[in-house]
Chains A and B, each alone.
Chain A
Amino acid sequence: MKFHGTAHKYGRDIDTDVIIPARYLNTSVPEELAKHCMEDLDPEFVSKIEFGDILVAEENFGCGSSREHAPIAIKSAGVSVVIAKSFARIFYRNAINTGLPIMESPEAVEGISDGDEVEVDADAGTIVNVTRGETYRAQPFPPFVKEIIEKGGLIEAIKEKVSTR
């Protein structure tokens, strides 16, 4: 998987309540959720994002609630991949399960500034900052997790198990 876009950079502890406020959780329609993505943190977010852009954040991205509406909103808003120094654990699982690519790379987050042009090769685990001519390494997924991603998400991965029951 390869991605290419403009980086939009935010701080640490970006919680699921600002990613998608609970006042919109009376729906699970991805397009509806996308309209309000990050609005309490940055009301301009949705209008700034071009399809394929890259969300960059410091530590503990996605902390708080278990709402899967959060990765769904980010993905539907057009973000191709989230790069952070670390992810909150429920968000980490939810992103994998719903097919939102995420990468853990403290050095990339240090090196990337808001507005930089960035290229990501998720399989190779490399992040290239085109604007600055720098390359960073990301943590590879554990093989078990990679298998889920390769099968197209958790539901696809367990279909076989369900059909043999």
Chain B
Amino acid sequence: MHTALVEGGQATVDTAAQFEPFFPGLIILLPLIGFLINGALALKHARVSAAAVRLGGELDLGEGDHRPETHTLPSYVGPGVMLAAFLIASVNFIRMLSVELHEPHVIEYWTWIATGTFTVDAAIQLDQLSILMTMIVTGVGFLIHVFSVGYMSDDGGYPRYFSYLNLFIFFMLVLVMGASYPLMFVGWEGVGLCSYLLIGFWFSDREKSDAGKKAFIVNRIGDFGFLIAMFLLFGMFGTLDFVPLFSEADNLEYGGSLVTAVTLFLFLGAAGKSAQIPLYVWLPDAMAGPTPVSALIHAATMVTAGVYLVVRSSVLYALSPIASATVAGVGVFTALFAATIALKQNDIKKVLAYSTVSQLGYMFLGVGVGAYATGIFHLITHAFFKALLFLGAGAVIHSMHRSLHRTNDHQDPQDMRNMGGLKAFMPITWGTMWVATFAIAGIWPFAGFFSKDEIIWQTAAFGGAARAPYPALYQVYWVIALGTAILTAFYMTRMMVMTFHGSNRTGVEEAKHLYEAPPVMWLPLMALAVLSVVGGWINVPEALRETFIGLGPLTSEWLHRWLEPVTEQAHHIQEFNLGEVAEQAPFGGGEVTWAVISTVLALATVLTSFHLVIRKNVRAAAEDPELSGFSKVLYHKWYVDEVYDRLIVQPLIRTSRFCWRVIDARVIDGIVNGVGWAARGVGFIVSMFQTGTVNTYALVLTIGALIILGVSVF
């Protein structure tokens, strides 16, 4: 079936107007080329700087135009390849818009792995979902590359930074464009590698290096699940290519135990990559990396790969009500849990990190209730507003860092308690970040309102379906989702107020050195701010569009229809087994009513918390008293890291030591040495050779050869 479809390396599609891809391979290849060029520059530069370090100093890079080419070229190569890739992706996107593409367009390049019974090609798959993800990855990726030119300009590892960043994009594109699970897994672990390298970018710092290692190991726990799922799938279908696998999947039994196992193992992978309970612990630590990295990898793209995985496998998830309920449940509890931690964090990036974990939880809630397009919708809007928030935080940290550096102040430049009143110094950052805050808080008509509200609504609708599997459970999910939205509005407002409003706490001298970020940094902020407003208008449900909330002709339900070819199979399964979804929420009220309620609640929370926090006397970090009670628990993140360390890490290390010192050294070697004693005679004879000279050895060898020769004559 697959071979018939993909004859001669080209998929044939039975539509009137054929989709003609426009050099799609280049989209992947360009970042790879960027990586190779920047990587070569990085290696070249590293030798020079190593020589300086060896002499006990640091390499002086000089200023602006006088920098060596290893520091000027990446500024063009890094963002340049991204722009080119984005443009090519756009051409493909526009071409796909103009045709009806029902089947994915698969392009094979070479046979990757082929044994007698298992074959997987190096092939990419172009369809509505993968092209959308490609647009996000290259588009947002390009903006963040541009921002990085400013943010990283004074860093000694500049070319290395861009080589990692380009390599990340390469793997991310393999992840979203790969036409099979194994190829997706290449991207999956590849982005994990880049995440590891970039979190530990400043590797001389033990803490940052630790954070990178932690991210890699925790992700590998998830990857374990991904691998097991692949083995199970291969046993079920004999292939791991998406197209034949999903078309066969229709024949599976609804709610079968195998498909449940597969989807749960896949979700373990997703939980690792997308930082969900119980594997979320690496993401907050990942903030050790440069801030644009947090924006690109740990907010906009890589961490959403788990959501992409679930949507890509939507057929399988639709077949398993247990797995879907688990995905939704883990999602919504993670959303709540992370939001509670975000309430008490003082590090601006930590707030955003927990906020990301929380928003990813929303996405999983969405895909868990079968609203696959809605999950992707929130993924897209989140990519805009969260990238914006991180880049904004980056601009703030950049400014704070420079100011503290120039005044030889050793305060923490990321601690919001040391900020305050930055609005006056950085108006663009301030304005754009408020746009993103409105978006994430779910205030109409910003992007996040439409996507988050849709997820919450779909939860209610799904739970109320005619034959919904666990209706009461989904009502609980729905209430938690609503409640978490209020927490979101609160902690985001708190962050904005502590950073930009109130009195300035940096110190008088320090304040003189605070500036707005340069254009190369605020231009991407502006672009993302626009997207954070209009990004939600691509998918406004019909019910809302009939009222003023739908913004009339400005909006459409485009995304939902666009993804239809990818999700329809799953929707059919769901509709067939569960019946029509509900039109009413649990306590009554339709979609429009609850949309109004939720945005009013969000707005009220923003206004109240603004006044609450601004009145509170925030003190600089050094003077801030220790927290107590429940606040302390939240500040220490519910002590989950400590519990993991006690229950998993330490026992593992103790067991390992036991294996080595007792089983290996005592038990096994004890027996061996005992045998050795018995065979001491042999050992003694053998050891006699030790004392001899080379001639002895030669003699022994000769005698041996002679014996063999003698035997052969005989």
Bound pair (A, B): no
Q: Residues on B close to A: CB < 8 A?
A: none
State the A residues within 8 Å of B (CB): none
